[in-house]
């Protein structure tokens, strides 16, 4: 199987640049190589969300999981109106997706060297 990244590069940095690279890598939670690749691909990585964010995401996951179990049980008992539960589940999934998008996914930026690229 061929490696995904098959070109190896070595860089020289000043002490200050190395310090900033390590700080940015730590801030984003990305390895330095992934950080450079993201920047070259036109993405601006975001700072890694704090523990509170992850606690909220876990809580949303738990709520969604509980609603799924309630929906399954309601269906077994023959309740006719399951649309309400389905709508609530979709709302939770959408909220979780939007939170991940806003706080985790990198922003695509238009860099001057990327003008005209697809």
Instruction: Sketch the domain layout of the chain as residue ranges.
Output: 15-48, 49-105
CA separation for the pair 111, 114 (Å, rounded): 5
CA separation for the pair 29, 46 (Å, rounded): 9
3-state secondary structure of 44: strand
CA separation for the pair 98, 101 (Å, rounded): 5
**Percent of the chain's residues with pLDDT above 90:** 65
User: 10 Å Cβ neighbour count for 3?
Assistant: 7
- 26-77: pLDDT as tens digits: 999 999 999 999 998 889 999 999 999 999 999 999 999 999 999 999 999 9
């Amino acid at each position: 199987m061929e490696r995904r990244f098959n070109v190896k590069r070595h860089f020289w940095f000043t002490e200050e640049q190395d310090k900033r690279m390590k700080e940015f890598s730590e801030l984003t939670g990305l390895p330095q190589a992934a950080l450079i690749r993201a920047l070259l691909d036109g993405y601006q990585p975001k700072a890694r969300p704090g523990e509170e964010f992850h606690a909220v995401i876990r809580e949303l996951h738990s709520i969604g999981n509980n609603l799924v179990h309630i929906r399954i049980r309601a269906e077994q008992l023959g309740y006719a109106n399951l649309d309400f539960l389905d709508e609530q589940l979709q709302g939770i999934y959408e909220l979780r997706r939007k939170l991940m998008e806003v706080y985790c996914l990198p922003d695509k930026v238009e860099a001057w060297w990327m003008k005209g690229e697809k």
